[in-house]
Chain A
Amino acid sequence: MLSSLLLPGRSSSPRVTPAFGGGRHRRRLGWRPSAARFSAFLRRSVRLSAAGLVAVVVALSLGLGFAAPAQAVQASITPYLPPGSGGALNILPSVVIPASRVAASSPEALALVMSRFLKSPEVLNAYRAMQAGTATTAQTALVVVEKAAYSVPATVPKVLTKVPPGAGLGVAVGGFQLGTMLGTGTSRLLGFKDEQVCSEQNGVLTAFASVLNGVNCGGWDRALEAARNADQANSVTGANICSPGGVCFALLGRAATSASEHMQCFARKVGTDNGFLVMSFNGGPLVSQGVVYTGGGALGSCLNAGFSSANAATGGFFNTSVVTRYGVQVGNNLVAETPAISARANPKRTNKAIIKYSDGTTTTSPSSDQYTENDPLFKMSPLPPVLPGKIPTEVKIVESTPGLPDSDLMVQPTTPEYQKYRVDYPQCQDGACIVDLVKMGLGSCLNAGTACADWFTDPNKATNYSCTFGGFPVALSECTSYAPKFKEGNIEQGTQLADPQTGTNVGVKTTPGIATDLGAPILDPEKPRECWPSGWGVLNPFAWVYKPVVCASQAMFVPRQSVVSAKLQQAKGAFSTKMPGQLIATVTGWTFISPSSGCAGLTLPLGFLPGGKNHQIMQACPGDPFQTMAFWTRLFGSATIAILTAKALTRYIARIFNYDGVGGA
């Protein structure tokens, strides 16, 4: 068969079925296999394949370009940067990216979120580390905070309310754990500046709180030994007591050994003083219980004393379920006493959130599910939605404990920046507004390609550019994040956002794809085009089809501006010495002066006579002899023209109806 294909006339069998060519064609032309036909077939096949490939590429490009969802090929997600983005973090609460938008493109949105905080490189690094799975706990906490601030569902690490040092002597007693869900970005959104909220998460206390609320937790010591139900222990006054001579006993902590028992631990300095703990059982008189603690060390601790193996009245531990009062006696003096707490351990609680507005009204959330102190996380009641048009001034979280009056977990005034934002940008409160760089005489730089490429280094940028948010002018520094955004290549390869304070490029790209919308800027034909995907686009198969096609199309059909200018100039100059060009130049050179009505009279040109000059005649200005005559002439002339006009009008109107009228035929 092979020989029959390659060698014409050597078909060994009439039954050979050609591997190509149609039967009809074969019958009409008396087909026989030949090398020439095979070669022609190959050429035809190659041409058809090439044409088909081109058609497929074009079809894919067009199809994907028009049919692909916007977020799949979107060049960049416009950053939603409110005024203050380059300023203090505590302004940030005013930012909300709609959850739907974030959910549609979470990685990019989060990258943008991170780029918002580039003034803090550790946050960016934390985000990257988290993406790589190498983040430390501290880094994770940072990222979680940022996510929470942008409505990205996230579990925020436990938050600890602190008891400031100095409330008692010795060791600050453990505060109370507030584990919560801030999935709605409540704290950041509402501009919390709570000096009592700090993170407990593995030592990132300061970072967490400062990012969350702009609060420096450095002055708030963490309890050395925090016990569950410590909030109830805190309600005991006089827990840290001292003798007049300065010998002090410190309540180091309490523990619940069961649902109904408290175990408490006291300690004192070991010295020459004999300190005794006195207690009242079931309301009886105070009785001595001996030395509280005589262990070694400068200051005893509950852990040293075997806190978890306590029993009544031994080693300084007491079953407080029967103790009603207790105190410390030094010598014969009772230096302090205090009632024992009566609340049961680990009560079931609820909380609710209340938003207070500037007009005095409030909105309250439904109560949360019940929780206990032993629960790892609070069952946080979600914040009620902020009413449109109103300005939240305070947010309060109230906790209800059975048998006790409600207590405020947090009372947070909203920041002035947030309140101002609510007033100044009511149309932006859904996060739909963007910061826009506007070039004078051009408009928004966001749709102007590289026209604003060097705006940040422009020495006259203060006059050549302005920055707006929601259509309102804001400080130009608010656009600092856009410093490298409009440079050549950044638009195609990824929108570069800069440090919002310094404008330095920190290498953050927000785009995974390329622009496909019809309004996308055309690549500058004067410069080498980037026709192959790079950056994130390398991972985008679509980019390998669309971008080269667009690039090649622009190279073919978008002329260079220099060429266009040269050809237009050549075309204009072609007629410069010909009649059309001369006429146009002459006509455009005419200058007509609008005369003003006056009384100067006519100019009689007598300058052509020897020694002659121009003369004015018929002057009728005030004081001229002809003034009166001119007045009457003007009046008579006007009357005459009025009469003639009336006559003409009647005639013309009458003629419409075939009647000559007053004017006659």
Chain B
Amino acid sequence: MISEWFLNLSSTVWVWFAELFPTWQVPAFLSGIDETVNSFMSNAAGIGAWIDWTFWLVCVGVVISVWVVGLTVKIALRVAAYLPFIGGAG
């Protein structure tokens, strides 16, 4: 009984909150975005004989990963520079 009362109260508040929003229709481009993406990916795959996408993706992935690692190390060094007896004057 008590749980159901709270459940009913929560539901009522939630419906009241939802009614504060206006009614909204999804734009056509948004509803069809999956078709656009699928078409793009299909074309990209179609020129796989010209471009080794797998190799490209590995290279790009490695570069990004090393960049992230380098950035992390530099931030760590910069932070460590503020620590006494390690490198900073703080």
Whether the pair B1, A556 counts as a contact (CB closer than 8 A) is yes
A587 — nearest CB in chain B belongs to which residue? Answer: B30
Whether the pair A567, B22 counts as a contact (CB closer than 8 A) is no
Smallest Cβ distance from B41 to chain A, in angstroms?
4
Whether the pair A598, B18 counts as a contact (CB closer than 8 A) is no
Whether the pair B63, A645 counts as a contact (CB closer than 8 A) is yes
Smallest Cβ distance from B16 to chain A, in angstroms?
9
Contact pattern, B 36-65, Cβ under 8 Å of A = 1, otherwise 0: 011101111111111111111001101100
Does B24 touch A at the CB level, under 8 Å?
yes
Classify the secondary structure of B's interface with A: helix
Smallest Cβ distance from B62 to chain A, in angstroms?
6
Known contacts A578-B24, A583-B26, A598-B45; A591 and B34 CB within 8 A of each other: yes
Whether the pair A577, B14 counts as a contact (CB closer than 8 A) is no
Smallest Cβ distance from B24 to chain A, in angstroms?
4
Smallest Cβ distance from B38 to chain A, in angstroms?
5
Chain A residues in 8 Å Cβ range of B17: 574
Does B15 touch A at the CB level, under 8 Å?
yes
Known contacts A578-B24, A592-B38, A593-B41; A603 and B49 CB within 8 A of each other: no
Smallest Cβ distance from B32 to chain A, in angstroms?
9
- Contacting residues of chain A (570-591) with chain B, CB-CB under 8 angstroms: 570-571, 574-575, 577-580, 582-583, 585-586, 589-591
A-B contact count (CB 8 A): 144
How many chain A residues touch B (CB < 8 A): the figure is: 58
Among A559, A580, A586, A600, which residue has its beta carbon within 8 angstroms of that of B3? A559
Chain A residues in 8 Å Cβ range of B47: 601-602, 618, 620
Whether the pair B24, A598 counts as a contact (CB closer than 8 A) is no
Does B80 touch A at the CB level, under 8 Å?
no
Contact pattern, B 66-77, Cβ under 8 Å of A = 1, otherwise 0: 110010011000
B59 — nearest CB in chain A belongs to which residue? Answer: A645
Does A71 touch B at the CB level, under 8 Å?
no
Chain B residues in 8 Å Cβ range of A560: 4
Among A555, A571, A603, A644, which residue has its beta carbon within 8 angstroms of that of B46? A603
Chain B residues in 8 Å Cβ range of A557: 2-3
List, sorted by A's number, 21 A–B pairs whose CB atoms are closer than 8 Å: A556-B1, A559-B7, A563-B7, A575-B18, A577-B23, A586-B30, A591-B38, A595-B44, A598-B46, A599-B49, A616-B46, A618-B47, A633-B51, A641-B55, A641-B56, A645-B59, A648-B63, A652-B63, A655-B70, A656-B73, A656-B74
